[in-house]
Amino acid sequence: MPEPLIPDYRGPCLTGVVPGLLISPPGRRPAWFPEVVNQAERVVLLVIDGLGWNQLQDHRVSAPTLASMAGGAISSVAPTTTATALTSLCTGATPLEHGIVGYRIDMGDAIMNSLRWSEGRRDLRAIHRPSDVQPIPPFCGLDTEVVARVEHRNTGFTEAHQRGASYRGWRTPSSLSVEINAALDTGARFVYAYYDGIDTTAHEHGFGTHYESEIRFVDGLVTSILDSLPSGVVLAVVADHGQVETGSALIDLDPTVSRLVDHESGEGRFRWLHARSGQAASLHDACSRYSPIAWVKTRDEVLSEGWLGRRVGHQTETSARRLGDVALIPHGVHSFEAPTDSTPASLVCRHGSLTADEVLVPFVALCS
């Protein structure tokens, strides 16, 4: 069985990027930063959702600008899912510290989709206030320019992981460079920008011709942003997670397992099972049948092994209570399905687990 790639939260990890840029002065940033970023006075951080390091290496020929940038791979967080990873990126906190511990989270009275901040059609913002669920000030509490999709502006998830930022919305990718430069015109020394086309394309089409076309498009987008930046501004590129192609390798829980489950949370590649009363140990034993294809972990094992960060303080205890009793984390190409999951079964690429394809992400840069 392969070993999980547990994030190095104190080393080269998403958690260190924004604090290193906002708090550390030029020349004194972490040694794992690209040198051009280490010395930069002004930085645009472009987050490309879903662009794993391994996928970038596989498509270097189609992405000459990205391939030419200085830097290398750093680690995402656990689970390798957008809501958790972007919150860690923007707050500098581990998942246990910020509380967005997965795609679907057990809030006690609801299983909340953290990207939609809802349960089905039920908006949960009034019941579970984003600033209560995720209490850490984003961007180190500093005024920050954010450039992202206009429709994300007033969502619960944006309030949770980017509240307080000056938000500039784009409707078409061609507007990204325009909005980035408008943010720089305010005198901002740091601008956070976000693009999600690669993630969307991989989910829908996998690593085929559509993905190849999107990689080429994104490389052109990066080139156009670089060409538009004022002299001396550094463009740094990072991603929240990588991907694996699961296709139809979907697993429904065996009846001997499902009869012990009260409900589930998480997602297919980091599935939390919440046991019926008094059945946690039996559930773990029953799940051993999945050991050939997945890491089968109890909540205590996930916590003690530091998958989601160190368990220290009141907030981490609150976060720990949002986890299930047993986690199923595939290390191959499988995905564990659940009847109440809001993730479409038709997804071709997925993420969430701790394989290298999902954990390793680029942190690369080039000066304009």
For residue 35, tell me if it sits in a domain: yes
Domain count within the chain: 2
For residue 192, tell me if it sits in a domain: yes
For 88-102, write each residue's pLDDT tens digit: 999 999 999 999 999
pLDDT for res 105: 98
Segments forming the whole domain that contains residue 68: 14-245+354-367
φ and ψ of 87, to 5 deg = -65, -40
Are 37 and 72 in the same domain? yes
Question: Can you read off the two tokens belonging to residue 210?
Answer: 């559509």
pLDDT for res 342: 64
**With contact defined as beta carbons under 8 Å apart, do 319 and 97 qualify?**
yes
For residue 4, tell me if it sits in a domain: no
Is the pLDDT confidence value at 128 over 90? Answer: yes
The residue type of 18 is V
Are 193 and 254 in the same domain? no
CA–centroid distance for 195 within its chain: 13
φ and ψ of 310, to 5 deg = -75, 145
- For the domain that residue 207 is a member of, what is the CATH number? 3.40.720.10
Are 265 and 196 in the same domain? no
- For the domain that residue 345 is a member of, what is the CATH number? 3.30.1360.180
For residue 191, tell me if it sits in a domain: yes
The answer to whether the Cα torsion of 121, 126, 132, 138 is positive or negative is positive
For 166-214, write each residue's pLDDT tens digit: 999 999 999 999 999 999 999 999 999 999 999 999 999 999 999 999 9
Tell me the whole-structure pTM to 2 decimals. 0.97
Per residue in 215-248, is it b (16+ CB within 10 Å) or e — as a string?
Answer: bebbbebbbebbebbeeebbbbbbbbbbbbbbee
For residue 47, tell me if it sits in a domain: yes
For residue 3, tell me if it sits in a domain: no
For residue 170, tell me if it sits in a domain: yes
Could you tell me whether strands 294-298 and 270-275 are parallel, antiparallel, or unpaired per DSSP bridges? unpaired
Are 209 and 105 in the same domain? yes
For residue 94, tell me if it sits in a domain: yes
Are 267 and 331 in the same domain? yes
Are 239 and 91 in the same domain? yes
- For the ranges 108-112, 234-238, 246-250, 361-365, which has the lowest average pLDDT? 246-250
